[in-house]
Structure 1
Amino acid sequence: MSDTATVENGYVFDPSWEREHSRLSALEEIYDSQSRHRLTELGVAEGWRCLEVGCGAGSIARWLARQVGAAGRVLAVDLDTRFAEAHTLSNLEVRRHDILTDRLPDAPFDLVHARAVVEHLSDRDEALRRMVAATRPGGWVVVEDFDIDGPMYPAAARYYPPQYIEVAERLGRALRAAFGAAGVDPGTGRRLPQALTDAGLTEVGAEVYAPVLTGGSSAFFPLTLRSLRPRLLETGEVSDADIEEVITLTKLQGSTYIPNFMVLAWGRKPS
C-alpha cells in the first residue's frame, strides 16, 4: 500500500518492520511504470523543479532527477527518509518533512507528485491545498491512491481463481475495515478527481491502474499481508488461515490476482 511513513498517526504500516524496505521496493516494481508513463505524458523534462511527497524507497525521486538533468532539481520528502537517502545524484535532495505542518521552499515547483500518501493523512484536504500552493502557475499536481471501498474489493476478488473468490472477498472487507480503523480513507482513490478540482486545478484527468499479477511474480502483496496481519485479524473478518491461504496463492505458479485498484489523478494549476 503506502509508499511512505509520512504521517504521525493513521499510517497503517509499521515503518520499523524488518521487511518494510522490501515491501516498499516491491510496491515500486508494480506501480512505477504507470507513474513514469503519466509523468512523461505530462511533459517532465530538462530543467524542471519537482517535489516528491512521501518518497518511500525513492525510486520515483531518482527517476525524476535523471529526467530533469543537471539544470533541474528534485526535492523528495518523507517523515522517514532511511530508504531514500542512499543515492549519488547531485540534483536530488532528500529531506525529512511533514507535509501537513512543515514549510516548503518558497520557489514553486513545476511538478508535485504523491503516491499512496494522501489516503493516510489526517487532513487530506489540507495536504492537497499545500501541494497546490507549492506548484507554480501552469505546473502539475499528480496524486495516486488506492480504492478498496464499496464495490472495488469484490471486483478485485473476481481476478482470483474461482476457489479463492470467497476468501479474497473476506480479505477485502478486512483491509477496508483495518484501514478505516486506522483513520485511512479506503476510498480516497475514487475521490481524487473531484478533490483536485475542488483544490482549484484545471485539466483534471484520472485513470485506474489494476495490474493482474501472476503467482510468484511479485512480493508486494504477500509482504503487505504479513505486515498488516495483526490489524487484519483484529477486524474479525478473516482468520490467520485465510491470510496464509492468500499468501500461498500469491506464490503459486500459474495463479492470478489483483492486489488492489490504484487511481492516478492529475490536474494543472491555472496560469
Structure 2
Amino acid sequence: MERDTASEGGYLLSNAQAEAGARFGALSELFDPSTFRHFDALGVAPGWHCWEVGAGGPSVPARLAQRVGPAGRVLATDLDVSWLPAGAGFEVLRHDVGEERPPGEGFDLIHARLVLVHVPRRDEALAAMVSALRPGGWLLLEEADPALQPLACPDESGPAQRLANKLKHDFRALMAERGVDLAYGRTLPRRLRAAGLTGVAADAYFPVTGPACARLERATVEQIRARLTAAGLATDEEIDAHLANLDAGRLDVATSPMISAWGQRPG
C-alpha cells in the first residue's frame, strides 16, 4: 500500500506503524478471496509475469507466485517494503508508482489494491501501469469507495453504533484533508476506458460484519487515534468507549465497498 505524500502529515495509515501488521492481516482475510477470484477469472496461469503494486503485506504476491510457478515472475513493490519477506517466491522492490517509471514492462497482469486513492499523482500512476502491460495484458485495480457507504455501522441501532459512525465520519474528514478522493472507486471503469483498455468491467464486494471487520476497525482506529485527537475531532474517552464496544462484540462493523475494475491492453 503506497504512502500518501500529499501533505506534511503523511499517509494516515503508514506501513511503518506497528498496527499495520494487524491491518494487513484483517484486509487479507476480508478481501483476498475476492481478489483471488478475479485472478482466476482473468486466467492467471503458469509463466505469467505479474506486478503487484503497493503490495503492503505478502499474501497477494505470494498467491500470484503460486499461480505463475517457477516459469513466471512476480514483482511486489511498495514505498515501504518492511512487511514483504525475502525468499517468499516473489521479487521485492522499493518503488513509488506515482513518481517513478515502471520497474519493467511486458507484464501479463498488474494489480493494485487500496493504492491509487492515496497517491497524489494517481492519473500518472495509472498511465504508468497501463504502459507497462504487454499487448493483451490485464490491469486489475481495486479501491474502496467510502462515499458510497460512509458508515461503520449501517444498522445505527443505538449509542454505540452512533459513536462508531461519528468516528468513521471523523476519519473520512482526515482523509479528505489529505487529498483522498472518497468517491474514487466508482470512477475506475471510466478511467480504464479512458486509458485505452478494452473489455472493461467491474464489481463490488461489501463485508457487513464479522471478526475480521472488527479487527480491521480496531487497527485502523488505533493507527489514527493521535491524529483524531490532535485535530480535535474525537476525544480519548470516545475512542476508548468505541474500542470497548468492539471488544464486547456490540457492533456489526462494515467496510466500505471494494470496487474491483479490470481491463485489457489491446493486442
Counterpart residue type for residue 244 of structure 2: T
Q: Is 1:152 aligned to 2:149, yes or no?
A: yes
Aligned partners of 2:197 and 2:263 also within 8 Å? yes
Q: For residues 228 and 11 of structure 1, do their structure 2 counterparts lie closer, same or farther at Cα, with a shift above 3 Å needed?
A: same
Give the TM-score normalised by structure 1.
0.88
Counterpart residue type for residue 175 of structure 2: F
Q: 1: CA distance between counterparts of 2:95 and 2:212?
A: 36
Q: 1: CA distance between counterparts of 2:78 and 2:67?
A: 21
Cα offset, 1:214, TM superposition: 2.6
Aligned position for 1:122: 120
Q: Is 1:183 aligned to 2:179, yes or no?
A: yes
Alignment of 1:215-226 (within 5 A): 215=211, 218-226=214-222
221-230 vs 100-109, which deviates more?
A: 100-109
Give the TM-score normalised by structure 2.
0.89
Cα offset, 1:234, TM superposition: 4.6
Aligned position for 2:252: 256
Q: What is the aligned residue count?
A: 264
Q: For residues 180 and 217 of structure 1, do their structure 2 counterparts lie closer, same or farther at Cα, with a shift above 3 Å needed?
A: closer
Aligned position for 1:268: 264
Counterpart residue type for residue 33 of structure 2: S
Aligned partners of 2:163 and 2:242 also within 8 Å? yes
Aligned position for 1:66: 66
Percent identity over the alignment is 37
Aligned position for 1:28: 28
Alignment of 1:151-230 (within 5 A): 152-154=149-151, 156-159=152-155, 161-215=157-211, 218-230=214-226
Q: 2: CA distance between counterparts of 1:245 and 1:132?
A: 45
State which of 242, 245, 256 in structure 1 corresponds to 2:238.
Answer: 242
Instruction: Specify every segment of 5 or more residues in structure 2 that has no aligned partner in the other structure, as ranges.
Output: none
Q: For residues 104 and 204 of structure 1, do their structure 2 counterparts lie closer, same or farther at Cα, with a shift above 3 Å needed?
A: same
Aligned position for 2:99: 101
Q: For residues 207 and 240 of structure 1, do their structure 2 counterparts lie closer, same or farther at Cα, with a shift above 3 Å needed?
A: farther
* Partner-residue secondary structure (3-state), 2:142: strand
Instruction: Specify every segment of 5 or more residues in structure 1 that has no aligned partner in the other structure, as ranges.
Output: none
Q: 2: CA distance between counterparts of 1:102 and 1:217?
A: 34
Aligned partners of 1:161 and 1:255 also within 8 Å? no
Aligned-CA RMSD value: 2.2
* Partner-residue secondary structure (3-state), 2:219: helix
166-175 vs 139-148, which deviates more?
A: 166-175
